[in-house]
Amino acid sequence: MSTATDRPLAFLGGTFDPVHLGHLRVAWEAAEFLGADVHLMPANVPPHRAQPIASAAQR
């Protein structure tokens, strides 16, 4: 029997402004492929675009 502590942990980073089904699908596929718990980690200051209106905590 597997528990949450037996699974690897993976992070998917991005701006997520706003989070959409594409982000969720990538996270789901990674979780399935890796057998991992995947967490979304919003970039506090995105390196490739202007600062989002929503804060990192909100996203």
Whether the per-residue pLDDT at 12 is higher than 60: the answer is: yes
Phi-psi region of 35 (alpha: psi -120 to 50; beta: other; left: phi over 0): left
pLDDT in tens, 21-50: 999 999 999 999 999 999 999 888 888 888
Under the banding of pLDDT at 50, 70 and 90, the label for residue 3 is low
Phi (first) and psi of residue 32, to 5 degrees: -65, -45
Residue 18 has pLDDT above 70, yes or no: yes
